[in-house]
Structures are given as C-alpha cells and as structure tokens.
Amino acid sequence: MICPPLYMYTLMLLQSYVPSQVDSLRAKYSQWKGDEIAQIIYCDSIITTLRRYLDQCEVEYHRSSDPALVNRILKLDALCLATRIRVVTKDRRHRKLLVNLKESQAQSLLDLLQELLDSFELEDIRSSLVRTIVELSKRSGLYPTRLILRNLTIPSGLPSAGGSFGDVFKGDLGGQAVAVKIMRVFGAPAVESLTKVSVLWAQLSSPYVLPFCGVYNMTEPSPRMCLVSPWMDHGTLTQYLENSSQANRLSLMLDVALGLEYLHSFDPPVIHGDLKGANILITADLRACVADFGLCTLAQDSNLQFTNSSSNGKGSAPWMAPELFSEDDAEQKRKTCASDIYAFGCVGYEIFSGNPPFARLSSYKIIPAIMENRPLPQPASAELDDVIWGLIGACRGVDPGSRPKASEVVQQLRSHPTVCDRKEPVWDQNKSIVWRLLATLTSASLAAPVSEGGPKELRGPHFVYHRRDTSGPSLAEKRH
C-alpha cells in the first residue's frame, strides 16, 4: 500500500470527525491495494485523494490537522515510497513497465521522482531513483515539470559563445541573468540523449559543478530546446586566465579536480567526456566550476550512454586520451573516469601554459602526437613546481589503469603548501545560486501561461503540507 501512515492518519480523523466518509475512504483503499506497479503509477492520485479528505475535515468541520505532524507523516511516506520504487525497479520486468510509461502517467511519475530527489536525503536509495528518472525521461521525451522554465527572454543578435552542440546567449529569467544554450540537436536519438543529459544534470549539486536551472522550449524562429544555467560574468577558465594576471592557478586546478571528484563519486558515476578550459566557468567568487555536460554519460550503463549530436562524437582532440582513438577495440573508445582524468591533466597544462596541449601543431598532427605520447614542454610558471608537473604527467599517462583517481588528485593538490590552508565554500543546496534563482521565479512561473505541448498543470508539492485558511463559516454551517 502506498502512503500507509498518511492513510491511517486520514482514516483516524474521518472516524473522529466525518464518520460518513469512512466507508468511502475504505472503498478507495481496497482499490489501491492492487498491483505494486499500479500503486506507484497512480501514487499522485492516491496522495491527492488523501489530502482532499484532510482538507474536507478542515474546511467543513474546522478540525485542522497539525502541519508539523502531517509533514512528519508525509516524510515517512516519501521515504517508504522511495524504498518501494528501489525494490520494484530491481525486477527487470517491473522496471521496464515503469520506464516505458507515456504521456500523463510518465509525467506524474517524473514529477514525483523529482520531488523525492529534491526534498529528501535518500542516501543509498538515491542512485536507483536517479537511474529511473533519467531513463523514464529519455524514453518518454518528457521532463519533470520543475525543470520546464517560462518567462525567459532571449535577446536577438549574435551569441556570446558557441560550440559543436549549440550557441550560448545571455538571457533574462525573472530579472536574473542566465546563460541560455540553444541546442543544435536533430533527430530522435539526439533529442533523447539531450533529455537524458538535462535530467541528469538537474540531479547534481556541488559548488564545483555549474548549477542547472532547467529547460526552455523556444518556438521562434524555429522550435529548439534550450538549456539554462546561471550566467557567469567572468566567463570560461580560458577567458579568465587570458584577462587576469593575478589568478591563483593552483587553486583553480583544485576546483576543477573537486568538480571531477564529485562527478566520479556520484552514484552512478558521471563521466563528463569533454573536459577542457572552454567548458569550465569562473564564479563570482573566482572559483572554477565544471560545465557543459554535452558529452556526459552515466558510467557502466550502456542503456544511458549519450549519443553525440556532433559529426564525429569525439569531443576535442587535444584533451582526449589515446585509448579513445583506438581502431582495434570498440570498448576502449568508450569514455571513462580514466579518460576524464587524462583530460584533467590537459586542463592542468592549459592552466599553467595558457594554451591547449600541442597548440603549435596543425590539427591533423595532434592525434598522432597523442598516440605516440610525445612529451609536452614544461610551462614557465612560478606556481608550477615539479610536484604539480609530475601530477599533470601522471594524469596524462598512456595506461588508463595507471592514472590517479580524482580523489587522489584532490588529496595531492590539497596537500600542496600553496593551497593547503585555503577555505572551502560551505555548500548548502537550499542556499546555492540555482535554488536562490529558482525561488525568485516560482511565482512568475506558476502564473505564466502553459505553452502548447507543455504540462497541463503545475501541481504543488506532494510531501509538504500547509494549514488551510479555515476562518469564517464552514460549508457545513452555510448549509444550515
């Protein structure tokens, strides 16, 4: 049974104050006791119905529920529901039924899963929900309602930046500056992959990973999907280093390593797949954060691999590990945590030299140089000592198995005298830039008209309860 604590609490109130409705609730309960999959699919309807019974007690009989008590009950129900979804999705047949839902059923479950992920510390349960919401979103072509943005203004004119996946414009969302990446994706496989990337990005929360605000469906001049994130005035790592002679390069290298450590320690691990200076942004407090998840994948999950919409699917050659160019072993060409570490080593070189690896070589000579493991010249930088240069070299090792893990890179950088005493930001998701931004947009978004093809309604949270305003005569009193 879905939500047993809320059901029992509601039944108790009805027995005490509205006994005429007890049989009605019990009849509904008998309908809800069926198949577990059906209970999860129709969980939205079950919770809504139970809350209507609670509302009836309040509005008609002035019997207000204690919000604190109801919220504790709802939290318990949420954790029970998350656990049940995890158990159910371990069965291959049941999982297939859930991730292949369509239209309204898929939308209801997506919204429910996103609320669970946003609202609760789920620990070991979280990874199962992440896999389920990503796969369901990809297969259904739908997004959790919270991720769909409205009232976004995109200026005309030239983009601020561009890449193989889309052009970036500085937009306005409820008075806040945001980066709007208008994607260049065509065809069903690419659209499915973009959906997967967007929903996965929404589950990440770290000061060293660019926050994700949501998606925007642009209709003019042609239908296009846009990915929206906070605008960073300092631009990319590459731009910042060009314009700032006082940059703390070693500290920025540690920031990138911390972002990569977070991605690789996420459950399931996230492979960035296109790490380079142009895909790292500088925040207002001059920290580096990893961005542009255009090539990211969930590790060890072939069903959720990203299908690149660019022509070659190989990212940017100077930052790519030699195994990714293998012609003999298709499995070796699959991006991994180790290939991300190689790219990180190249970013380290970029940070201290100001140029990508093999910058003086023509494009067709870069891949042979990587395959032959040609050494790079050590940049002349006062911040770059032999220890850090050795770490960069280890990250760029030919053998993927010999490269250090992201956690080992972080440990070595943190032990360096230059950065060992630096203060790390205290990260509270509820106070992070994206949540502050979204909080200012909630009222405007809910009031905005829904575009054609969008969700039919925006529901309130399932697992948050507020006391209703029961001042004035009740409906029961009005009838008399």
What is the per-residue pLDDT across 410-446, written as a single tens digit (0 to 9) for each? 999 999 988 877 777 765 554 455 555 555 554 344 3
The whole-number average pLDDT for the span 312-332 is: 74
Residue 476 has what pLDDT?
39
- Which segment of 99-108, 308-317, 379-388 scores lowest on mean pLDDT? 308-317
Mean pLDDT of the chain: 81
Q: pLDDT tier at 366 (50, 70, 90 boundaries)?
A: very high
Q: Write down the pLDDT at residue 66.
A: 73
Contact 211, 229 (CB under 8 A): yes
Give backbone dihedrals phi and psi of 396, rounded to 5 degrees, phi first: -95, 20
Q: pLDDT band at residue 474, thresholds of 50, 70 and 90?
A: very low
The DSSP secondary structure of 269-298, one letter per residue, reads -EE----SGGGEEE-TTS-EEE---TT-EE
Domain ranges of the chain: 4-142, 147-231+436-447, 245-429
Q: What fold, for 245-429?
A: Transferase(Phosphotransferase); domain 1 (1.10.510)
Q: How far apart are CA 226 and CA 169, in angstroms?
A: 10
pLDDT value, residue 400: 94
The pair phi, psi for residue 153, each rounded to 5°, is -105, 125
Say which residues have a Cβ less than 8 Å from residue 271's Cβ, sequence separation at least 6.
Answer: 263, 264, 296, 297, 298, 299, 335, 336, 337, 339, 340
CATH number of 147-231+436-447: 3.30.200.20
Q: How confident is the model at residue 399 (pLDDT cuts 50, 70, 90)?
A: very high
Q: What percent of the chain has pLDDT over 90?
A: 38
Please give the Cα distance from 147 to 198 (Å, whole number): 9
Residue 124: per-residue pLDDT: 79
Confidence at residue 478, expressed as pLDDT on a 0 to 100 scale: 39
User: Which pLDDT score, from 0 to 100, does residue 398 have?
Assistant: 94
* pLDDT, average across residues 336-359: 95
CB 252 within 8 A of CB 383: no
Output the pTM of the full model: 0.82
Residue 274's alpha-carbon distances to 90, 163, 172, 401, in angstroms, are 32, 12, 27, 20
Mean pLDDT of 166-171: 87
Helices (H) and strands (E) in the chain, counts: 17, 10
Alpha-helix runs per DSSP H in 401-474: 406-414, 433-447
Given a cut of 60, whether residue 375 has pLDDT beyond it is: yes
Q: What integer pLDDT is reported at residue 332 of this predicted model?
A: 60
* Residue 160 pLDDT exceeds 50: yes
Give the model's confidence band at 305: pLDDT under 50 very low, under 70 low, under 90 confident, else very high: very low
Within 271-420, residue ranges assigned H as helices are 337-353, 363-371, 386-395, 406-414
* Reported confidence tier of residue 473, pLDDT bands at 50, 70, 90: very low
**Taking residues 43-50, what's their average pLDDT?**
86
Phi, then psi, of 172 in degrees rounded to 5: -125, 125
- Rounded to an integer, what distance in angstroms lies between the CA atom of residue 380 and that of residue 372? 24
Torsions phi, psi for 410 (to 5 deg)? -60, -45
Tell me which residue has tokens 């909080």.
439
Structure tokens at 241: 């280093």
**Which position has the higher pLDDT, 431 or 275?**
275
- 148 beta partners: 215
22 by Cβ neighbours in 10 Å (0-12 / 13-18 / 19+) ranks as: middle
Distance CA 320, CA 341 (A): 10
Residue 64's pLDDT is what?
60
How sure is the predictor about 246, in pLDDT bands with cuts at 50, 70 and 90? confident
Q: Is the pLDDT of residue 393 over 90?
A: yes
The residue with greater pLDDT, 302 or 211, is: 211
- Residue with more model confidence, 305 or 232: 232
pLDDT, tens only, 55-95: 887 766 665 667 788 888 888 888 888 888 998 899 999 99
Reference 113, options 137, 129, 135; nearest CA is 129
pLDDT at 330: 60
Query: How confident is residue 268, by pLDDT bands cut at 50, 70 and 90?
Result: confident
In contact, 313 and 324? CB cutoff 8 Å? no
Residue 451 has pLDDT above 50, yes or no: no
How far apart are alpha carbons 119 and 105 in whole angstroms? 21
Dihedral over alpha carbons 352, 354, 356, 360 (to 10 degrees): -120
Mean local confidence (pLDDT), 101-108: 91
Tell me how far CA of residue 314 lies from CA of 122, 179, 300, 324, 333, in angstroms. 35, 25, 19, 8, 9
Whole-number Å distance between alpha carbons of 44 and 3:
11
pLDDT at 448: 39
